[in-house]
Chain A
Amino acid sequence: MGIKSQRRLTQIVSYTILIVWSVILFVPMYWVVITSFKRAVDMAAGATYLPWVDFQPSLGAWRYLFVERLSWFMQPFMNSVIVAFVSSAIALVIGSMAGYALARFDFGGRNDSIVLGFMSQRIFPGALFILAFLVMFRELRLLDTRLALIIVYASGAIPFIVWVMRDFFESLPVEIEESAMIDGASRLIVMFRIAMPLAAPGLVAVFVLSLIGAWNEYLVAVTLTFREAVTIPLFMQMQVSQTGYTEWWNMSAIALISVIPMVVAGMALERYITSGLTFGALKG
C-alpha cells in the first residue's frame, strides 16, 4: 500500500472510531432530553425512541416543574448555585494568594514540601473526612447549612488551586514585577495589577474546575445536609432512590436543568479545563 492510501486509511479508521465514541457519549444525552418530553403512557409498554414517530412530545414535565412545583426544585438549585460560586470564589482568592507566595518567596527552602502537604489532601479518601466533619459541624450547629458546605468545598478546592497557580506564577517572568517595584509599586499592587491579570487563564481554569467539583459533589452533601441545604446531586438521589413508581420525565427534566449549565460552561471553556487538568501532570 502506498503512503498516501495508507494515510487515508488511518484517517478513515480514526474518524470512524471518534464518531462511534461521540455517539456513545451522545446517546444518554439524547435519551434524557427526549424522556423529559414524555408522559407516563409513553413509557408503559417499552422504550420509545423518536419524538413524533414513537410518541407525542409533551411539555407536561416542564410545566409541572416550572409552574406547579417551582419552589420545590428551586431550593436545591439555588443551594447548589450559592454553595458552588461562593466556595470557589473563596478558594480562588485564598489559593491563588498562597500559590503566588509559594512562587515568589522562599519559605526556608521548604516550598515544595508545603505544596506536597497541600496536595496530600487529594490522596486521602473522602471517607476519612466525613465522620470528623459530621461531628465537627454538629458541634458547631452547622449541620444542614449552606455555610458548612461552602467551608468544606473551599477547603477541598484550595490545595489544587495552590498547586496549579504556584506553577503558573513560577512560569511568569519575575522581571516585570521587579521593575514595577523598583519604580515604586508595592507588592500588593504588583500582585493584583500585574501577576493576576497575566495569570488569568490559570485562574479561570481552576475557578471553573472548582465550580464543577462543588456542583457535582455528593458524599459530603449527603453527610452534612438533609433538608434545607440539600444540593442538586443529593436532591436527585433522594428522588430516584424511592422504590416504586419513578416519574422518569420529571427526573429527566431536573437532570437536564442541573446538567446544562455545567456542560455549556465546560464546553465553552474546554481549553481552560484541559489546561487546568493537565497542567500539573505535564510538568511533573
Chain B
Amino acid sequence: MASTSTPLLTARKRSVRFEIRDHTWRWILLLPAVIIIVILLAIPVLWTLYAAFTDLHLFRVGGETSFVGLKNFEKLLSNSSFWRTVQNTVVFMLGVVPAQLIIGMVIALCLNNITAGKKFFRTWFVMPLMVSPVVVAFVVGKMLFQEDIGPINEILRWFGFKGIPWFTDPFWAMVSLIIIDVWQWSSFMILMLMAGLQGVPPDLHEAARVDGATAWQSFWRITLPLIMPITVTALLIRIIDAFKVVDIIMVLTGGGPGQATESVTLAIYRVGVKGGDLAFGSSQAYFLLLIMLIFGGAFLVMSRRAMSQ
C-alpha cells in the first residue's frame, strides 16, 4: 500500500491517524486502573468516613440508620479500652522501628564491606520477607517461645534463669511480638540500606582516609548523609506498616493477656467485623489514620530538619 503513494503524504496521513489513536489509547490504558481504584479505594474510604458519623450496625436488619454526628468520636475519646489499644500500637511501633533501623544499618554496612559472598547473604536475607507473618508468628512465637517446652525457655533454664512467661505476662507478650516483627522485617531495612549504600562511591572513603579521617567520621560525615533519603523512605514505610499490625497479634496472643497486646486494627476487627458495630469501628479506623498522619508527619518534619544540617 505505501509503495505507490508519495512518502510525505503517507507519513502525514499516518501520523494524523496515530494521533487520534493515541488520544483514545491513553484513556483505554489508564481507565481500567482508575475505575478499579475508585470503586475499591475511594468509595470504601469515603463510605467509612460516612459510617463514622452514623450508628450503622451490621446486625440490625431492616432498621434505620441515623446520623449521630460526633457521638462515635466522643465515645472513642472517653473509651479507656480504645486508648489502651492506641498505647499498645504506639509502643509496638516505637519498639520495632528503631531496632530494625539499627540491625538493618549494621547488617547493611557489613554486607557492603565484605568482598565475597554478597549474593549468598543477600539471597538468604530475602527469605523472611517471603514468609507469611502468620507463619512467622507461629514458628518463632508459638513454637520457639513456648513457655513450657519451647527451646528458648529451655536454654534460659540451662543457664540458670527461670523461664520467661512470654504469653502470660503483658510486658513479655509485647516483647515477643516485637522480636517477631524485628526478625521478619529487618530484612526490608537491610535491602533498602544496601541499595542506598551501593550508590555511595568508594573513592569518597579513600579520599577521606588519605585526609586522615577515622572510619567513624567517614561513616557519619560521608555515608550517612548520602543514604539519608532512602533511609527516611524505608523508615516511613516501616512506621506506617507497624501502625497497621494485626496478623501476628491475632495468631500469637489474640490481643491478650487481657488487652495488653491488642492493636487498634485488631480492636477494629473485633468491634466492627465480629461485633458488627460498623459505626464505632469506622470512627476508630479514622482515628488510627489520624494518629498515623501525625506520627508520619512529625517524622518527616524531623528528618527534613536533620537532613538539612
Chain A positions near chain B (C-beta within 8 angstroms):
10-11, 13-15, 17-18, 21-22, 24-25, 27-29, 31-32, 35, 43-47, 49, 94-95, 97-98, 100-102, 104-105, 107, 114, 117-118, 120-136, 151-152, 154-155, 158-159, 162, 181-182, 184, 186-188, 212, 215-216, 218-219, 222-223, 232-234, 236-237, 240-241, 246, 248, 251-252, 255, 258-259, 262-263, 265-267, 270, 273-274, 277-278, 281-282, 284
Contact = CB atoms under 8 A, between A and B. Distances in A.
Contacts of B165: none
B230 interface: yes
A212 B130 contact: yes
Name the 8 nearest CB pairs between A and B, nearest first: A132-B44, A98-B33, A216-B132, A266-B130, A101-B29, A155-B40, A14-B110, A105-B26
A118 B183 CA distance: 30
A97 B262 CA distance: 41
A21 B292 contact: no
A265 B131 CA distance: 11
B64 to A, nearest CB: 16
B284 A187 contact: no
B288 interface: yes
B134 interface: yes
Contacts of A24: 183
B300 interface: no
Contacts, number: 289
B106 A17 contact: yes
Contact of B269 (A222, A277, A281): A222
A184 B58 CA distance: 58
Interface stretch (B170-178, B239-247, B301-309): B239-247
Contact of B250 (A184, A218, A274): A218
Nearest to B41: A121
A10 to B, nearest CB: 6
Given A131-B273, A255-B139, A266-B130, A151 B33 contact: no
A252 B139 CA distance: 8
Given A22-B124, A233-B135, A236-B138, A125 B265 contact: yes
Interface residues of B, number: 100
Main secondary structure of the interface of A (DSSP, over half): helix
Contacts of B129: 212, 266, 273
B237 to A, nearest CB: 8
A94 B109 CA distance: 38
A118 B37 CA distance: 7
Nearest to A277: B191
Given A24-B183, A98-B34, A31 B250 contact: no
B93 interface: no
Contact of B37 (A102, A121, A232, A258): A121
B60 interface: no
Contacts of A13: 110
A34 to B, nearest CB: 11
Interface in B110-130: 110-111, 113-115, 117, 121-130
B142 interface: yes
Contacts of B243: 125
A45 B154 CA distance: 11
A131 B282 contact: yes
Contact of A270 (B39, B126, B132, B250): B126
Contacts of A15: 110, 114, 117
Contacts of B47: 132, 135
A174 to B, nearest CB: 13
B128 A25 contact: yes
A18 B29 contact: no
Contact of B122 (A131, A262, A270): A270
A277 B104 CA distance: 15
B265 A152 contact: no
